[in-house]
């Protein structure tokens, strides 16, 4: 692939500009030497991808594959939620605005102090509890408007917090910062059974019970109708349960109640945000690829991936306010395009890895390798054209111009080193422009799914991990119960051995015949024995008064000694 470049032609031809919004995309760094020829080569792909979008927006069943046990077999509606035309009944831009207005009214009652606790206390803290798309989208949007220190910069009447992982140390730190008597936990789970989210909710509710507080008046749910979380919320009289449609994928749910509720609490203009998405969707329905920014990006990514095997994308946003944008795209691209099978069930093992952060900070992490190292990366740059303030800078004149200089200097260096890149520029980090940026990438991913004949809307690998975790949790609980039962007898003999001996001693499992299940059980046994030794008094209330444990490393394996406490 030739990477020679004529700057004059590039600056006059390889630029997309939308005069209505000011959105600009420079793709001269993508090295499309003969753009007309390239677009002509992709004419079938373009036609197929646009037909695919029409099928999606018509409500057809597109979320399916030839691997029946992995197929979700449903429609995909996130584009419909911001369409001006109501193609699918009950789903349109206007319907979404109506839903948001209802949510905003309820949230404002909390923010204004009109709705209080049963003791008449105003709410002071809101904790958003979700993972994946239920966390990344809302968090990105709040940071995009207020920065990383949003509780100091937003001037909101409540403090906002996020919890995603099941890390007990972080959870304890969060609780130490809250007044739980005036805190609301907003649990976001489309399925209503997400393990991390439900686990955090139970832990929070347990803390409420310790203080004799009503669970309901400190909880809000966001989930699908009739899910477990919906029913649990009704049974426990949650303040509100807001609904997500079953056809709305988690990683693209920021245009639904998943994004509406956090943005309402943050007093971010959601209506402008979703209108920005709607505007970009209109641009990316254009049949002429030169007038369709998402199609341009998809063609560039596809061409470079096919010709040079560039499967990595680095996203650098040249503003601290978009520091979470690359993390959002990481899930969107990796979960959508990382697939084992195509839609016909043929093995493909395909993927597109996204990583990145903030320019210029992350340049010191990535740019050296991109410029001089392995030639397997496509760079994506995001820039906000207008500044609200600036400061004098000796080297560049002003701080803002220095940041711009770093961006343009990096682009020039990439050109000299024959490294491809695309730069998107918006006028500002307004909700409207954020909506445009997100909608652009959602469409790119859909186009790439069509190009690559894969389903970009399922996530069977995530489900595999959930099933494996469920097996781990179930078997580990059985092992712990067996150890507790064994040492319930004060005269029980001490145990010395590794995972293999533990399965024989406590679980009565025959370890002679090797199998995949046995290998999993051995790994779980060693993991749990190690965890008991490290966290006996913190995480094992049923064992801490029964046993003492020590661990040593002998002959390439860990050996555990477990005594009944009375024998020490």
Catalytically active residues are 335, 364, 466
Structure tokens given for 321: 């306010």
Query: What's the helix, strand, coil split of the chain in %, to 5?
Result: 50, 15, 35
Say how far apart CA 446 and CA 292 lie, in whole Å. Answer: 14
The helix (H) or strand (E) run that includes residue 486 is helix 460-487
Structure tokens given for 83: 């369409």
125-129 and 183-188 as β-strands: parallel, antiparallel, unpaired?
Answer: parallel
Q: Are 110 and 240 in contact, with CB atoms under 8 Å apart?
A: no
Say how far apart CA 393 and CA 143 lie, in whole Å. Answer: 26
Q: Are 445 and 434 in contact, with CB atoms under 8 Å apart?
A: no
DSSP assignment letter at 74: B
212 Rama class: left (phi>0) / alpha (psi -120 to 50) / beta: left
Burial of 371 (0-12, 13-18, 19+ CB in 10 A): middle
- Give how far Cα 113 sits from Cα of 109, 121, 123, 142, 498, Å: 6, 8, 7, 22, 58
User: Measuring CA to CA, which residue among 411, 344, 389, 309 is closest to residue 26?
Assistant: 411
Structure tokens given for 329: 């795209």
Say how far apart CA 176 and CA 120 lie, in whole Å. Answer: 23
Instruction: Check the CA dihedral 461-466-469-474 and report its sign.
Output: negative
Q: Where are the beta strands (DSSP E) in 60-218?
A: 125-129, 159-163, 183-188
Say how far apart CA 426 and CA 435 lie, in whole Å. Answer: 11
- Give how far Cα 261 sits from Cα of 98, 249, 495, Å: 13, 17, 53
Say how far apart CA 153 and CA 511 lie, in whole Å. Answer: 59
Task: Tell me: cis bond preceding 216? Omega within 30 of 0 counts.
Answer: no
Q: What residues pair up with 426 in beta bridges, in sequence order?
A: 384
Structure tokens given for 280: 């970009």
């Amino acid at each position: 692939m030739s990477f020679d470049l004529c700057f004059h032609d590039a600056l006059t031809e390889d630029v997309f500009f939308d005069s209505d919004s000011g959105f600009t995309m420079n793709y001269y760094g993508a090295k499309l030497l003969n753009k007309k020829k390239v677009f002509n080569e992709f004419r079938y792909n373009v036609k197929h991808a646009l037909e695919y979008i029409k099928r999606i927006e018509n409500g057809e069943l597109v979320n399916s594959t030839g691997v029946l046990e992995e197929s979700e077999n449903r429609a995909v509606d996130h584009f419909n939620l911001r369409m001006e035309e109501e193609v699918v009944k009950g789903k349109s831009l206007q319907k979404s605005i109506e839903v948001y207005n209802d949510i905003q009214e309820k949230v404002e009652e909390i923010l204004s102090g009109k709705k209080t606790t049963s003791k008449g206390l105003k709410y002071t803290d809101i904790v958003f509890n979700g993972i994946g798309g239920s966390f990344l989208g809302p968090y990105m949007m709040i940071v995009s408007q207020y920065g990383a220190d949003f509780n100091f910069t937003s001037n909101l009447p409540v403090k906002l917090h996020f919890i995603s992982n099941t890390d007990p140390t972080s959870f304890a730190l969060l609780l130490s910062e809250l007044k739980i008597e005036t805190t609301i936990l907003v649990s976001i789970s489309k399925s209503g059974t997400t393990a991390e989210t439900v686990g955090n909710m139970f832990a929070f509710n347990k803390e409420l019970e310790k203080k004799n507080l009503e669970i309901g008046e400190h909880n809000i749910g966001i989930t699908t109708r009739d899910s477990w979380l919906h029913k649990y919320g009704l049974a426990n009289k949650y303040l509100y349960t807001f609904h997500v449609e079953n056809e709305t994928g988690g990683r693209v749910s920021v245009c639904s109640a998943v994004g509406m509720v956090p943005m309402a609490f943050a007093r971010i203009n959601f209506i402008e945000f979703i209108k920005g998405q709607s505007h970009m969707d209109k641009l990316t329905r254009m049949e002429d690829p030169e007038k369709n920014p998402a199609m341009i990006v998809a063609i560039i990514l596809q061409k470079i991936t096919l010709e040079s095997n560039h499967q990595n994308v680095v996203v650098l946003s040249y503003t601290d306010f978009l520091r979470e944008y690359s993390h959002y795209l990481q899930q969107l691209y990796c979960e959508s395009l990382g697939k084992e099978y195509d839609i016909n069930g043929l093995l493909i093992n395909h993927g597109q890895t996204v990583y990145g952060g903030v320019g210029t900070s992350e340049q010191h992490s990535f740019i050296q390798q991109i410029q001089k190292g392995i030639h397997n990366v496509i760079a994506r740059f995001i820039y906000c054209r207008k500044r609200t303030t600036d400061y004098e800078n000796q080297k560049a004149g002003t701080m803002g111009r220095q940041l711009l200089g770093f961006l343009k200097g990096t682009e020039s260096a990439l050109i000299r080193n024959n490294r491809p890149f695309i730069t998107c520029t918006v006028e500002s980090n307004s909700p409207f422009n954020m909506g445009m940026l997100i909608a652009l990438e959602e469409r790119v991913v859909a186009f790439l799914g069509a190009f690559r004949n894969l389903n970009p809307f399922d996530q069977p690998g995530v489900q595999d991990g959930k099933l494996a975790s469920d097996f781990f949790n179930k078997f580990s609980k059985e092992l712990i119960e067996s150890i507790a039962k064994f040492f319930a007898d004060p005269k029980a003999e001490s145990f010395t051995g590794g995972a293999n001996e533990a399965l024989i001693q406590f679980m009565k499992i025959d370890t002679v015949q090797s199998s995949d299940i046995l290998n999993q059980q051995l790994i779980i046994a060693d993991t749990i024995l190690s965890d008991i030794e490290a966290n006996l008094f913190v995480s094992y209330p049923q064992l801490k008064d029964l046993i003492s444990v020590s661990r040593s490393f002998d002959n390439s394996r860990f050996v555990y000694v477990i005594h009944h406490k009375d024998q020490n």
